[in-house]
Amino acid sequence: YGTLNIPPSLLPRWRGASPVQRSLEAGDDPIGVSVLFTVSKMDAGPLVSQEEHKAHPNDQATVVLPYLFNVGTGLLLDALPKVISEEITMESATTQNEDEVTLAKMIDSSEGELTVWNDSATTCHNKVRAFSDWPGTYMFFRFGDDDTSDPVKVKIIQTQVLEETAVPTNQIELGPKKGDGLRIVCADGSILECLLVQPVTRKVMDAKSLVNGLQGKTMQWVQPPDAE
């Protein structure tokens, strides 16, 4: 009968080691899952079935990955009787279009840094979504007005993109309303709102808790020394 697999991507888009992470990083909508016959080349076999799902703009990989595998398991169970009866075979399944292949390369730990001085809020937000499990995302903050103080590495746990824009600045401010996050203005003036953060050696906290702990000190993002 052959062997079936359930890659969590809309093949031939995102073949490889990290399909969910790369689809979220790219801001794909829809996302989805496929059932295919395996061949020697990774994720290149003929397709038995495929299902699209709308991507919520704030969903993270830690939620999307198990959800798509659950959907894929259902597709696999639906397909098995047809494969066993040979109603569907490797020869009759749908051949992938090699001209439409994109590769989901393995994630490197260095990809977790948010480079707001180069990228838009949407680009940074999608990295937070994609790398929520590993390697995580982070920035360097400086607290207070002393430009010689050492920057603090802060993990960025949860974000959203605001519709408004502002003049680019490295100053970070808390939004005016209850429940607002830290507002970071990116290179193009778009605003990334950080809702949950985790300073090094500290627990995960909401933005207001971080600001309260600063006791009136200002906050800026800084580029690490090796940043381009």
**Residue 227: what pLDDT?**
60
Identity of the residue numbered 67: Y
- pLDDT bracket for residue 228 (50, 70, 90): low
Contact status, residue 156 vs residue 204, Cβ threshold 8 Å: no
The tens digit of pLDDT for each residue in 135-183 reads 999 999 999 988 888 999 999 999 999 999 999 999 999 999 999 999 9
- E strands, 73-175, in order: 103-104, 137-143, 152-165, 173-174
Give CA–CA dist 64/156, Å, rounded: 19
Lookup: tokens for 171: 């100053």
Banded pLDDT at 212 (limits 50, 70, 90): very high
Q: Are 28 and 1 spatial neighbours (Cβ–Cβ below 8 Å)?
A: no
pLDDT-derived band of residue 201, with 50, 70 and 90 as boundaries?
confident
Q: In this structure, what token pair is assigned to residue 121?
A: 């809020």
Three-class secondary structure of residue 36 per DSSP: strand
Cross-sheet strand order for the sheet of 4-5: 4-5, 31-37, 47-53
Instruction: Provide the percentage of residues in the chain whose pLDDT is more than 70.
Output: 99
Q: Which residue has the tokens 């360097």?
A: 140
What pLDDT band is residue 47 in, cutting at 50, 70 and 90?
very high
Give which of 156, 155, 183 is closest to 169, Cα–Cα. 183
Is 90 exceeded by the pLDDT of residue 220?
Answer: yes
| Tokens linked to 177 | 């309303």
- So what's the architecture of 110-222 in CATH? Roll (3.10)
Structure tokens at 134: 């590993």
CATH H-level superfamily of 4-104: Formyl transferase, N-terminal domain (3.40.50.170)
Instruction: For residues 70-84, give the mean pLDDT.
Output: 98
- Decide if pLDDT at 196 tops 60: yes
Contact criterion met (CB below 8 Å) for 46 and 37: yes
Predicted pLDDT of residue 149 = 85
What pLDDT is recorded for position 74? 98
Question: Domain residues of the chain, as ranges?
Answer: 4-104, 110-222
